[in-house]
Amino acid sequence: MPELRKDPVSNRWVIISTDRSKRPTDFLDHAVDKKKGGFCPFCNGSEEKTPSEIIAMRPSNTGKNQPGWEVRVVPNKFPVLRVEGELNRRGDGMYDMMEGVGAHEIIIETPEHDKSMADFSYEQVQKVLWTYKLRCLDLKNDLRFEYILLFRNYGDAAGATLEHPHSQLIATPIIPKRVLEELEGAKHHFEYKERCVFCDMIKQEMKDGQRIILENRYFVAFAPFAPRFPFETWILPKTHNTDFININEEQSFDMARILKDSLMKIKKALNDPPYNYIIHTAPLRKPEGVYTHWHMEIIPKLTKLAGFEWGSGFYINPTPPEEAAKYLREVEI
């Protein structure tokens, strides 16, 4: 029997369509194709083919825009938003607009072209996460920006245009609609119960246990109660923390471990599928950010949205999260 489940943060309803139920082995034809070949501007030795680096983790005996780096950040050559200019907010009758000001950066995660993040060492994943933090701290000083979105597209179906391991950062002059919806849901829960909705979620999940995938000292990974997509996985800090920028070095090592291990479980269970991950964090300046709890969402690209989803706002998920979590828990890494 299909089941409707409600997300406690966004109040979004999801249909868990057990009549269309799919087991993990039904998704095995979604593997990422890594055999494109050709020139790669992100590889070690091709530094002159990218815009000049913003920052890089590199040994002290190597120079800027030279080989030898470990993680490298460069401006996107084809940015969604441009860092130059003023916002120039204005209206035209009933329509509002502003200049497309923001920041769009590429985090090149490793010099090694053929690795996925699941294959990185824990130390390399930690360096990537720490680079995220450093960039957020720097961009927060620009008062034109209201939100920083960190995300990773892995595979063609997830929107990756280059196969070399990389993630992206976009700083926007407004708070995205979905972030506002999440903030409003978190604020409503806090005003009603005087508790963080995500902290309550963690307590519930750790008590039930059936949707837990992994945990360590500082973090927990689980399949959310109302997942939009098969094998959707969330990683949250166990103690309340509104902003990813607040992560300390010790916590970043635990985050690196649980992120790499979660991605490796997904890779092994589902034959290396395309995926997106997104870090949800507090806005840079909006006071409602105190109600949220930063977290990462990992979304394997195993299904497609069609007319019903676009027209209704419902998501249809053919795999119950309890089954997905059990399967991932049992994957040996």
Percent of the chain whose predicted confidence (pLDDT) is above 70: 94
- Residues forming the active site: 166
3-state secondary structure of 74: strand
d(CA 321, CA 330): 14
d(CA 256, CA 166): 16
pLDDT at 33: 66
Q: Where are the domains of the chain?
A: 3-329
* Polymer length of the chain: 333
Integer CA distances (angstroms), 87 to 14, 70, 284, 286, in order: 37, 35, 17, 18
Per-residue pLDDT tens over the stretch 75-105: 999 999 989 889 888 898 998 888 899 999 9
Q: How many CB atoms are closer than 10 A to CB 193?
A: 10
Superfamily covering domain 3-329: HIT-like (3.30.428.10)
b/e code 20-32 from CB counts within 10 Å (16+ = b): eebebeebeebeb
pLDDT at 315: 92
Integer CA distances (angstroms), 242 to 30, 287, 294, in order: 35, 11, 5
Q: How confident is the model at residue 288 (pLDDT cuts 50, 70, 90)?
A: confident
d(CA 173, CA 305): 29
90-92-93-97 Cα dihedral, nearest 10 degrees: -50
Copy the structure tokens of residue 76. Answer: 């996107």
Would you say the pTM of this structure is higher than 0.85?
yes
Per-residue pLDDT tens over the stretch 145-203: 999 999 999 999 899 989 999 999 999 999 999 999 999 999 999 999 999 999 999 99
Averaged pLDDT for residues 227-245: 97
* Residues 6+ away with beta carbon under 8 Å from 154: 32, 116, 117, 160, 274, 275, 276
